[in-house]
Amino acid sequence: MIKYSTKDFDRDFPTDDACLDWLKNNRWTNGVFCVKCGKVTNHYRIQGRPCYSCEFCGNHIYPMAGTIFEDTKFDHLKLWFKAVAYMAVTRCGISSRQLSRDLGVTVKTGYRMWKQIRGILADGNEIKFVGKVEVDETYIGGKHQGKRGRGSENKTVVMGIVERKGRARAIVIPDVKANTLLPKIEANVVKDATVYTDDLPSYNKLESMGFNHETVPHSQKIYVTAGDIHTNSVEGFWSQLKRSINGTYHHVTPEHLQEYADEYSFRYSHRKDEQPMFTTMLNQVVEHSSKT
């Protein structure tokens, strides 16, 4: 992961104005189309206001509108950028309380920022996985994390779909029945992919559904390193996810587990980006905005 230091941040975003410029330039990468002039025109900053004005007709555009910063006062914009930077800096995320402390804001304010920023990390779920895809389920919560069977009633079942050397997705599911698992695979994986699972009978129909299906005997999970038939990627994803939950929160309630899983999957999927996670997350702010 490419690092992004406090020094980098202070250089790139010294003021609220610099943050607003960044938003404008990245939301309208090909220039701003003025609706009144009917063409792309230069837009100049109106001093003291969070907007830019068309050089010909004076029509205003507000880069914060339609983004997660929409309801924020302009003189808090740099603080929000800083919040994104703090959330991006660790590999497994920080709690809202930690964010409040880092920013020096109230717990309530910190929580609002944290929730908004995290909310945009669930996006991008519509692009299906390709190639070699490992699928597995695990149990999260309680003292005997990960174990099937006795005592698993109070735990939350999570399904993991991991592209080898690629992206990951974790989905909270009610049970591990075929009727639960198979539609999720269908929704998230392309048909000509090869799907690697353990020998849970719920996966038996994958071949007849049109997937190439390879099965790893459950007893051999993670230990098999020779050959192609293994689920090491998804096993690795689970252990990192669980370590991250334990390290950040100690405990995540089932209601919040999907949000956490989305955030973690986002980080995992972008772990090899050739830019800092902060840049990836800022781009996600843009990605998530409605262009008005």
Residues that bind Zn ion (CB under 5 A): 34, 36-37, 54, 56-57, 59
Q: How far is the CB of 51 from Zn ion (least distance, A)?
A: 13
Q: How far is the CB of 34 from Zn ion (least distance, A)?
A: 3
Is the separation of the CB atoms in 267 and 93 below 8 Å?
Answer: yes
Nearer to Zn ion, 38 or 149 (CB): 38
Which own/partner pairs from 45-51 qualify as long-range (CB within 8 Å, at least 24 positions apart)? 45/17, 45/20, 45/21, 49/74, 50/20, 50/74, 50/77
Nearer to Zn ion, 39 or 243 (CB): 39
CB atoms within 10 A of CB 55: 12
Q: How far is the CB of 30 from Zn ion (least distance, A)?
A: 16
Closest CA to 230 of 221, 242, 218, 240: 221
Q: Which is it for the CA torsion 136, 117, 285, 287, positive or negative?
A: positive
Q: How far is the CB of 41 from Zn ion (least distance, A)?
A: 5
Nearer to Zn ion, 56 or 223 (CB): 56
Which own/partner pairs from 175-178 qualify as long-range (CB within 8 Å, at least 24 positions apart)? 176/137, 176/200, 176/202, 177/202, 178/202, 178/203, 178/204, 178/205
Nearer to Zn ion, 37 or 187 (CB): 37
Which helix (H) or strand (E) covers residue 161, if one does?
strand 156-163
Q: Can you tell me which residue has the tokens 């001093």?
A: 47
Nearer to Zn ion, 53 or 197 (CB): 53
Bridge partner residues of 247 (DSSP) = none
Nearer to Zn ion, 34 or 117 (CB): 34
Nearer to Zn ion, 54 or 281 (CB): 54
Q: How far is the CB of 38 from Zn ion (least distance, A)?
A: 8
Distance, CA of 257 to CA of 141 (rounded, Å):
10
Q: Residue 160 phi/psi, 5° resolution? A: -115, 135
Distance, CA of 102 to CA of 64 (rounded, Å):
23
Q: How far is the CB of 238 from Zn ion (least distance, A)?
A: 53
Q: How far is the CB of 59 from Zn ion (least distance, A)?
A: 5
Nearer to Zn ion, 44 or 223 (CB): 44
Q: How far is the CB of 60 from Zn ion (least distance, A)?
A: 10
